[in-house]
Amino acid sequence: MPKFRKHRVIQVFEHSSIAYKGKHRHEQFTESLHTAFEKYFNNNETTPFFSMIPYGVRFNQYVGAIHLGSTTIEVLPKAGRENDPKIWQAVLLQMLKTCHLLTAKTTGSAPLRLRSNDILDLYFEWYLNELDYLMRRGLIKRYRQTQGQQNALKGTIDFPKHVTKNLIHQERFYTRYTSYDQDHLIHQILFQGLLLIERISASPILFDQIGRQKLSFPEVNSLQVTNHHFGKIRMDRKNQPYQKALEIAKLLLLNTRPDISHGKEDLLAIMFDMNSLWEEYVYRILRKTTDNEWTIYPQVRDRFWEQKSIRPDIVLKPKDNLRSSIIIDTKWKTVEDGQPNDADLKQMFVYNHHWKCHQSILLYPRTKGQNDLKGSYHLTMGDKTHSCKLAFVDVLCGNRLNQQLAAEILNKIDAE
């Protein structure tokens, strides 16, 4: 039986700091963790996830999980007065599921059955469930070009290499031939993802599933996976069922920095920009609403100046064509005084004119009991005024994600 490492999970909020001593001291954050983060930061100077502070780390607007050695740091979203990490972890997981960034196929075993505080384990189990689904379907075969020494003539002889390698062993043939088997690029990538989870996860439940899948997986060549390998894969009808497993493998393998501390530890970061996640979540819950008045479009891009374009987050177009469209721009940030940023107001002014909208909405999470604020632009649109509203919504309802959020957003729209 394997010896499982003692695994610890540290939960912090976005834009917060953590250190091994000083003002932001956290008893579980060690000097060795600080050193590992520092090495990662120095090797990736443009990393958006965090910045370094004396003795510690300050996290930015990215949420998710960073795994290093036997420690996972979960960076959670934060909006409002509630500061219970368990509540915001549940909010984050629900947002990820709604945006299809955390889901799983139903197989013979219940998907995402873990009751873990580790977000990474949920991603690991998602990946293992996808592999289980593929194995139950039957792994596909592909043609591939192979070359090497053979004791019998198979394929075509590579004469330059045959002469070089077989002057003495004339009973051998150096040939090129085509194989049709399961040892191809897709399976090589998926197997490396399986090995990564085996190396990082500390879950006994997952280890059992990993062991069974390794025994069932076909023998494939080892591969040092890079983004280039994913670019070589062309999805077709035959390999379409592999798409989700490949997406998760890409997320895991390309966000891992091996040997961050002299070959002893891997750093794996699965992080999401909270601004983008909030935008995507609002779009998806609006699209699911039972409201029949609007057709909802995400990120409608249009030419603006020369080769430049503009792209509001969400455009609502009335189905009856009797009203103008509505622009919603989501902002995951705190408005301290309840007043809009000048740049945001100018941006919404341009959106109104470009899409001929008479009203637009800047949508913020409510953090300090702010009230909505509507204002009209002095420069009219034709013979009509047009406006922009600062709208605030409660992300939480009690201790749970607000299930009426879509209806509340639609109620922010003023009748024309």
Tell me the DSSP string of 77-96. ---SS---HHHHHHHHHHHH
Mean pLDDT lowest among 55-59, 117-121, 238-242: 117-121
245, 264: one domain: yes
29 shares its domain with 122? yes
From 152, 181, 210, the end of a domain falls on 181
Contact, 207 vs 199, CB < 8 A?
no
Kindly indicate the confidence band of residue 1, based on its pLDDT and cuts at 50, 70 and 90: very low
pLDDT at 259 over 60: no
- Report yes or no on 281 lying in a domain: no
Query: 310-323 pLDDT, tens per residue?
Result: 999 999 999 888 88
Report the percentage of the chain scoring pLDDT > 70.
Answer: 88
Is 351 in the same domain as 377? yes
Domain stops at, among 274, 298, 315: 274
Same domain (yes/no): 293, 392: yes
Specify the pLDDT at position 201.
87
Classify residue 415: in a domain, yes or no: no
For residues 364-368, give the mean pLDDT. 90
Residue 416 domain flag? no
Give the distance from CA 376 to its chain's centroid: 38
Q: Quote the domain boundaries for residue 224.
A: 8-139+184-274
Distance from the Cα of residue 286 to its chain's centroid? 21
Q: For residues 42 and 61, what is the distance between their CA atoms, to the nearest angstrom?
A: 20
pLDDT at 261: 42
In a domain? residue 2:
no
| Span of 45-54, 106-115, 177-186 with lowest mean pLDDT | 106-115
Judge if 87 and 199 occupy the same domain: yes
Same domain, 93 and 161: no
Q: Tell me, what's the pLDDT at 4?
A: 54
Mean pLDDT for the stretch of residues 263-274: 81
Query: CA-CA distance, 11 to 78, in Å (whole number)?
Result: 12
* Per-residue confidence (pLDDT) for residue 369, from 0 to 100: 82
Count of domains for the chain: 3
In a domain, 284, yes or no: no
Reported as a single tens digit per residue, the pLDDT across 13-22 is: 999 999 999 9
Q: Are residues 225 and 104 part of one domain?
A: yes
Q: Are residues 120 and 235 in the same domain?
A: yes
Neighbours of 115 (CB within 10 A): 7
Q: Is residue 98 part of a domain?
A: yes
Q: Which of 372, 414, 415 is nearest to 393 (CA)?
A: 372
Q: What is the mean pLDDT of the chain?
A: 86
pLDDT in tens, 110-159: 344 444 557 888 999 999 999 999 999 999 988 777 776 777 766 677 76
CA distance 38 to 44: 10
pTM to 2 decimal places: 0.85
Position 335 scores a pLDDT of: 83
Rounded Cα distance between 215 and 207, Å, is: 12
In this structure, are 87 and 216 located in the same domain?
Answer: yes
Q: Give yes or no: residues 161 and 303 share one domain.
A: no
Same domain, 158 and 147: yes
Q: Does the residue 404 lie in any domain?
A: yes
DSSP letter string, 380-414: -BTTB--EEEEEEE-SEETTEE-TTHHHHHHTTSP
- The answer to whether position 18 is within a domain reads yes
CB 195 within 8 A of CB 210: no
Mapped onto helix, strand or coil, the DSSP state of residue 396 is strand
User: Does residue 116 or residue 188 have the better pLDDT?
Assistant: 188
Helix H, strand E, coil C: the string for 277-294 is HHHHHHHHHHHCCCCCCE
Q: Are residues 162 and 195 in the same domain?
A: no
Averaged pLDDT, 235-243: 93
pLDDT value at 271 more than 70? yes
Domain boundary among 127, 154, 181: 181
pLDDT of residue 321: 82
pLDDT in the model for residue 302: 87
Q: What is the pLDDT of residue 106?
A: 39
Average pLDDT over residues 263-290: 87
